[in-house]
A and B are shown apart, each in its own frame.
Chain A
């Protein structure tokens, strides 16, 4: 059983909802990323989403864009993200890692080569924001060849017939994008999310994670009422950025702590969800 299906099966057995933090690999610093990932697990993360920095992150709002820019300015590359996952795996062989990024760095790396490197490093699944089902065959085939999952996105604008086509191809889990917009934007409508999740659930038994627009314990709690897992990214990065700019002399671990505290409160929110 893969790490992902094991994790979701265990959550289901225990009647718990998953919490999935997203951070950009290399932000705030390449040296600190592995430490941050371990700290997020300790704070209650069930699955980790690791962003691969890209020069043109078209689906990201300003907070995550800046994270990508900082990481690239510090010399991050796809290979270095893979190396970080390898190091993380030396101490944690249980928490699933989902890599999230854009097509071009992967295409440049080579799809087959990338899939093999992911498997070797201990990556479990991939979300490529700009590879919709129409463009995903090549990477999906390469990932399947090494037993990794390609995660498909469904959005509020996805027509019902298309949802059917997508779930038939999906493995691992479904990622429902809760708002029309970029990461960190928009006003979350928990009722709309609940209706959409119910619709998707009629068509698949795969777990459904919901992301975009979830920023605190309250919104995490609301979404966890219907979703199997809650994804949070911009809010964590914004907290770390705020701390980093506070002007005090800080160790990087103190910056991480800002994200850890928010995640802990969201853990409590998710666990108190009435589902």
Chain B
């Protein structure tokens, strides 16, 4: 008799068509289809190639500085008086956020494909900086598309990209934020598909991007799982991460999906409040649709037009979300919640003052929910929060909100 094999649901996605249940897929113009097929083929060839994995792991160790620590925020935990809070310190990575895990991986793919030029879209500028960084290191031409509105609120990252040798292209169409930067990057890619590699910064876009970005970011969860076992002696009771497109959240969640005892919370940008309509929370209040190459939850009106979003954090200011999150929501494995601008700002100050760690405003959304969640739990339990990025880039935004001139 053969033993029953439980098919691994979470390893079965995406399927051969790039689907996560009814989500995902390849909704792009015909001109890009062969480029996507080439990328998928190359990725499947390389992903199990020990030499490629070694190259990736070495870069993560020596260039990014991995593994990133799992730090117990003891003072914050005491202050809240519930579960122990651990922070997965992606803010300590080279360039200051989780984004670089993915850009290292995709730049290696670009190198293997012999592409001399890379492009990227960026919202908060973290992915743009991470792309400009790997481009500098590999001697590749780099252009970063960024909404005019985001260029205004992320001046420090814009200058960092320029210092790194990248050209930042201001996008003035639509709402002039991340979604429009993505449109413009896709338009550039379709025009220069022969010599250009598009480094997508999140787990969205057409297949195979949601899959390969997830795989590159899953180092976060693999480390956190091992660190939790080593430092606490068991798996965490809950994971918390912010969700814009959702790459830091998928990176933390994915290696834990089969661990039924681990609850997971993805925190969207509640903006001025879900009831105001001024937010960026498609999983909380959106509906399924097709945008940027995949089917997912979107913020859209009844005519299927994409709505403008609002968040104090440029990196979460996006009307869609990665298709795997849409699927994880539908099957109920991950709970998606929202934190408002003011809650995120309060958590930004709280973590800075109590732990001496200044989180990115995106990350502060995860902290805001983690604080609430911890308060409902016991000190025997522990939570891992993905501290996905550092907050230096947001200092001017915070100062302006607090009415302080820097």
Interface residues of A (CB under 8 A from B): 54-59, 61-62, 65, 69, 72, 77-79, 102-109, 129-132, 134-135, 152-159, 162, 177, 180-182, 185-186
Contact = CB atoms under 8 A, between A and B. Distances in A.
Contacts of A65: 173
A105 B27 contact: no
A55 B25 contact: no
Nearest to B288: A107
Given A103-B27, A107-B290, A132-B26, A54 B34 contact: no
Interface in B294-320: 298, 300, 302-306
B186 A58 contact: yes
A155 B31 contact: yes
B11 interface: no
Interface stretch (B45-53, B151-159, B189-197, B274-282): B189-197
Nearest to A62: B173
Nearest to A159: B34
Nearest to A175: B30
Interface of chain B, helix or strand or loop or mixed? mixed
Given A108-B303, A130-B27, A152-B30, 12 more contacts: A56-B292, A56-B306, A69-B173, A104-B298, A130-B293, A132-B26, A132-B33, A153-B29, A157-B35, A162-B33, A180-B192, A181-B187
Contacts of A109: 304
B193 A157 contact: yes
Contacts of A186: 191
Contact of A107 (B28, B289, B293): B289
B291 interface: yes
- Contact-residue size bin, chain B (C-beta under 8 Å from the other chain): 35 or more
Contact of A182 (B190, B194, B289): B190
Contacts of B291: 56, 104
Contacts of B293: 130
B183 A58 contact: yes
Contacts of A56: 174, 179-180, 183, 291-292, 306
A157 B34 contact: yes
B305 A182 contact: no
Interface string B12-46: 00000100000001111111111100000000000
B300 A135 contact: no
Given A104-B306, A180-B190, A155 B298 contact: no
Contacts of B28: 58, 130, 132
Given A107-B304, A134-B17, A58 B30 contact: no
Contacts of B194: 180
A57 B194 CA distance: 22
B30 A72 contact: no
A117 B186 CA distance: 31
Given A56-B179, A56-B291, A158-B34, A105 B26 contact: no
B185 to A, nearest CB: 10
B63 to A, nearest CB: 33
Contact of A55 (B29, B32, B191, B305): B305
Given A59-B187, A157-B35, A177 B193 contact: no
Nearest to A102: B290
A59 B190 contact: yes
A72 B292 CA distance: 19
A69 B187 CA distance: 17
Given A58-B183, A180-B193, A182-B190, A130 B31 contact: no
